Structure 1
Amino acid sequence: MAETTAHVQPVDVHGKPYNRTIMVALILVATFAGVLMQTSLGTAIPTLMDAFDINLATAQQATTWFLLANGIMIPVSAYLTSRVPTKWLYLTAFVLLWSGMAITAFTPEEHGMWNMFLVGRVLAAAGVGISMPLMQVVMVNIFPAEQRGAAMGLSGLVVGMAPAIGPTLSGWILHQDHTILGLTLSNSWRTIFYVPMAVLGVVILLGFFLLKDVLETHDVKLDVISLIYSIIGFGSFLLGFTNVGSDGWGDMKNVILPIVIGLIFIAIFVVRQLHLDQPFLNVRVFMNKQFTITTLAVMMAMMAMMGVEMMLPTYLQNVHGLSALDSGLVLLPGALMMGIMSPIAGMAYDKVGARRLALVGFSLLAAGTVPFIFLTAETPTHYITALYAARMFGVAMVMMPLTASAMSALPPKEANHATASNNTARQLASAVVVALLTSVTQNIINNNKPADALRDANPLKFGQQMIDASMDGFQVSFFIGFLFAAAGLIIAFFLRKGKIIEEDATEVASKED
């Protein structure tokens, strides 16, 4: 590992000094552009439904397929981090991300071309699936233990703020046409991809000179069987949940069977890892009690956040009739709150540890979610803005301290496997909750919407009943989001008191508070 302290010039694995600040800045900017893709289409869902002539469940595939591919790649990242030099692994990930964005941005607006759109999303997700966990491994290794909370707080600007600000940014982009190099873009949803593509292109060029190899690599043999089990297991499991929105829970072929197959192969994968001297993904990290509890808490936080974040823009546009820009602006204060609080929460972790912050954060998150259950078509948007900001304050208090705690529960040499395991769990949680809530909302709307005959007989009554059906679906989804926040609060009581420091990480964290 490169030698690093607060006052000594950091050096890479080749013994050459490098500028840590500039390298971290490049990593943060590029990974931010990638993670932004996770939720940036949330506000654009109604626009995509019109452009490609698809329904809500199909349009949500833009998010669920992204999460699916992302979830498949993250376990692979542990092997790649150990095998491929940091600089070239980052550049490969960024090129994958840029290529995926380009394919998606240039997809023709035709119903039959939706699969091309999804191919681009999958490629971009593969890039993010490598770069995001790699970022956290780098942070753990290049910063000393006493600065790790603050460093993870910076990464919180990516992991937390990027998904939060995505809907607002896309809403602003969709509000008006944009002119690039003298060309007016009438299909402004494409600019959602053009902007991060431009930023990422600059980072790739600078990366050839400023990114350095800061992680030790080893001649680790690729266990192809584990790779196959991983792809089939995580891919099939996530695919089943991805199909829930369009096919429903009763579909044996497209939903239940893939989920069951996925669970079987994941179990086989785990058993194999426990018997390998050099596992593809070291699942033994879950034998550390604090790492496991912290990872569960992170999953609950992610599901509670995504549970409202992915449904709220659609509610604001379909029920309140807001434009994409206005619905994005409603969420902007919450996104800014996330960005402001993530570094502060990271520094607070360095002083008080994760337990206190998690208890406060989950309490705020749960309390801030309850009012969403009772939203109506007449609820003022400024009230929604305040509630959403309170929720994001709670998420910020939870997310980065828990992530830093999880990483500190294990020695730095296991950081790549710990990060991959933690992020895999988080992405599985994200994919499951998006698919779950989309399907719940869509099914409730379908079961409660008025008959088509009423549209011609009484258009006003038809419109009102459609809004009522939509509200029923959204309210149930928000209630499920509250349940995840409440579960996270319960789990937080089992976290260790104080900060877990590197000396503790060599012990099995089985001590009671």
Structure 2
Amino acid sequence: MISLTANTMRATKDAAEASAWPLLAILILGSFISIYNICSMNVGLPAFMRIFDSDLATVQWLMTGFTLTTGVITPVAGYLGDRYSNKNLFLFSIASLLISSILCAAAWNIYSLILFRMLQGLFCGLIQPVTLTIIFQVIPAAKRTMAISLWSASTILGPALAPTISGWLMEHNWHWMFLVLIPVCLFTLFMGWRIIPYYRSNAARRMDSLGLAYAVIGSLALLFFLGKVHDWGWTSWRSACLLAFGIGALFLFIRHELRIKEPLLQLRLFRNRIFTASISVSAVLIVALYSGIYFIPLYLQEIHGMSPFHVGLLLLLPSLTLGAATLLSGYWYDRIGPLRLVLAGASLVVLASWKFSFLELDTSHGYVALWMAVRYIGIGLSLTPAMNAGMRAVPAEFYSHASALINWLRQIFGALALGLFTSIFYARMDSHTATLQQSTESESVQWIHSTAYTLSIDDAFLFAAAFAVVGLPLALLLRRGLTSSS
């Protein structure tokens, strides 16, 4: 009887491990669809400025608005997954993403495209946390580290392939950059319906509407502040009021979440040192990451006159190094631990960001590709281990909360980073233009514009490098957390 039980358990375990890989493949495909839609716009901003006769401050909302709605919906992912099952939530998100992509292709002006992109962001914001939750619920623990690395590497295929694919499509017909993944969405829907197991929490939860309202209002206020601070000025009463309003709303959100029994996000997870260190390091790395994916395509197209397709080709190899570094971090994670990986990766991000603060009008393409590769290797070595350490540190019943919280903060910090870097860029652009006009009156208007543009990007990267330095001491908290929990 004991032998039969052991054999049954072993057969069950073998079956679970065998079915884990097809399941992981579908989750990876869904994650890739989400990340592709996030990164496909990176090389398209200058093109859409010409297509719709708009300026950068408006067109950047194709990324900022998308990132914001992604962050706004992410806190609800844990509640929706517990109530309707993560399988149903995954299938609903893929189907809705398919429809919203068709709407983007049908946009008639820049404002309708921004609106439909924000709708896209809602469903992309659900896919990332729900796929991560399913991995921790279903994949056997022995294979979970490699599964997380493969899942993370799939998110790298987006930055690697999206700029090249969307850049090529932009040169022929921009509508197809939104329609290209429709067959992939249909295949993912069918296979997800067949393969993903139905898992639903037995705990009945009520929707924390007040907490969601606080989170949305606070996030919107802070993002709007960063988008308008250049026009209003940092010391204007409107900037001060909007900043105070946003911070106040987020303070009320935190107080509310800590007081109720069924919070929208389980902020008590921050009592766990490893989880707190994981969130902190991830936020810093996300801010540093967004500066690169935002400004480098702009620099290559505006200063070097490259087409979106050629920008995608130039950045293809550096993006693939991100995937390789992510897989290596999964291989090394159990051997050397997250601390060394995060420290090494964050150091490379600091170095590469600092090197990008020396861009000139004639900087070679090889220089750009080299230091983008270094930046991506740093992100790949550090971001996934930091997230994995945080997820491992929480009890199984809080996987959905932890996943939603991690992805929410990553998206919110990404949106805030875009708004902040845009404000810094415009402020420095005005300053450099005025200085160059006074000191070089004999130069052409185009030379002054291009030089000021490049110097402003240099300043933004210098700020990104300084911000990334903060990630180094924060990474040391991982060691403290591991020591205290061991």
Matched, 1:283 2:273: no
Following the alignment from structure 2 to structure 1, what is the Cα–Cα distance between the partners of residues 419 and 479? 33
Please tell me whether the aligned partners of residues 364 and 391 of structure 1 are also in contact (alpha carbons under 8 angstroms).
yes
Counterpart in the other structure of 2:455: 472
Structure 2 equivalent of residue 9 of structure 1:
15
CA deviation profile, 1:19-41 (whole Å, cap 9, x unmatched):
33222212211221112222211
Distance 1:285 1:204, change over 3 A: same
Verify the 8 A CA contact 2:153 2:326 in the aligned structure 1. Answer: yes
Q: Does 1:269 align with 2:253?
A: yes
Bigger mean CA offset, 88-97 vs 231-240: 231-240
Provide the rounded CA distance (Å) in 2 between the counterparts of 1:217 and 1:316: 52
Between the aligned partners of 2:408 and 2:107, the Cα distance in structure 1 is: 29
Residue 511, structure 1, aligned to residue 481, structure 2: no
C-alpha displacement of 1:248: 6.0
Of 382, 385, 388, the residue aligned with 1:398 is 382
1:109-508 alignment runs, 5 A limit? 113-175=109-171, 177=172, 188-244=173-229, 249=234, 253=238, 256-449=240-433, 461-496=444-479
Which 5+ residue runs of structure 2 have no aligned equivalent? 1-8
After TM superposition, give the deviation of residue 67 of structure 1 in Å.
0.8
Cα offsets for 1:95-133 (capped at 9, x unmatched): 22222212111112xxxx322111211111111111101
In structure 1, the residue matched to 2:4 is: none
- TM superposition score normalised by structure 1: 0.86
SS in 2 for 1:449: helix
Task: Name the CA shift for 1:27/1:512 in 2 (closer, same or farther; >3 Å).
Answer: closer
Report the alpha carbon displacement of residue 142 of structure 1 after superposing the two structures with TM. Answer: 1.6
Q: What whole-Å deviation, never above 9, does each CA across 1:464-484 have from its counterpart, x for those lacking one? A: 111111011100011112112
Q: Of Structure 1 and Structure 2, which has the larger fraction of its residues in helix?
A: 2
Shift of 1:462: 1.3
Distance 1:219 1:512, change over 3 A: closer
- Say if 1:413 and 1:21 are closer, same or farther in 2 by CA, change over 3 A: same
1:484 is paired with a residue whose SS is helix
What are the ranges of 5 or more consecutive residues in structure 1 without an aligned counterpart?
12-17, 178-187, 498-507
Once residues 447 and 55 of structure 1 are traced to their aligned partners in structure 2, the CA distance between those partners, rounded to angstroms, is 19
C-alpha separation in 1, matches of 2:227 and 2:221: 10
Deviation, structure 1 residue 237: 2.8
- 1:227-248 deviations in Å (ceiling 9; x for gaps): 3223223333334334457766
Local SS of the residue matching 1:281: coil
Deviation at 1:490, TM superposition (A): 2.2
Contact in 2 for aligned 1:100/1:119 (Cα 8 Å): no
Counterpart check, 1:27 vs 2:33? no
State the partner residue of 2:70.
Answer: 70
Q: What amino acid sits opposite 2:413 in the alignment?
A: A
Using the TM superposition, give the Cα deviation of residue 164 of structure 1 relative to its aligned residue in structure 2, in angstroms. Answer: 5.0
Offset, 1:145? 2.9
Aligned residues of 1:308 and 1:477 also touching (Cα < 8 A): no
In the TM superposition, residue 400 of structure 1 has moved relative to its aligned partner by: 0.8
User: Is the contact made by 2:257 and 2:264 (CA closer than 8 Å) also made in structure 1?
Assistant: yes
What letter corresponds to residue 223 of structure 1 in structure 2?
D
Counterparts of 1:170 and 1:44, CA distance in 2 = 8
Instruction: Name the amino acid aligned to 1:286.
Output: F
Give the % identical residues: 25
Match of 1:495, as an amino acid?
L
| CA RMSD, Structure 1 to Structure 2 (Å) | 2.7
What SS does the corresponding residue of 1:494 show, helix, strand or coil?
A: helix
For the residues of structure 2 that align with 1:510 and 1:264, how far apart are their CA atoms?
35
Give the conservation status (yes or no) of the 8 Å contact 1:87–1:212. yes
How far apart in 2 are the matches of 1:96 and 1:240?
A: 30
In structure 2, the partner of 1:15 is none
**Partner secondary structure for residue 10 of structure 1:** helix
Alignment-mate amino acid for residue 124 of structure 2? V
The one-letter code matched in structure 1 to 2:248 is I
Give the Å deviation of 1:48: 0.3
**CA distance in structure 2 between the aligned counterparts of 1:247 and 1:63, rounded to whole angstroms:** 22
Q: Which amino acid aligns with 2:211?
A: S
SS in 2 for 1:311: helix
CA displacement at 1:442 relative to structure 2: 2.2
Q: Against the structure 1 CA distance between its residues 337 and 233, is the aligned structure 2 distance closer, same or farther, given a 3 Å change threshold?
A: same
- Residues 58, 387 of structure 1: alpha-carbon distance in 2 compared, 3 angstrom cutoff: same
Distance 1:239 1:71, change over 3 A: farther
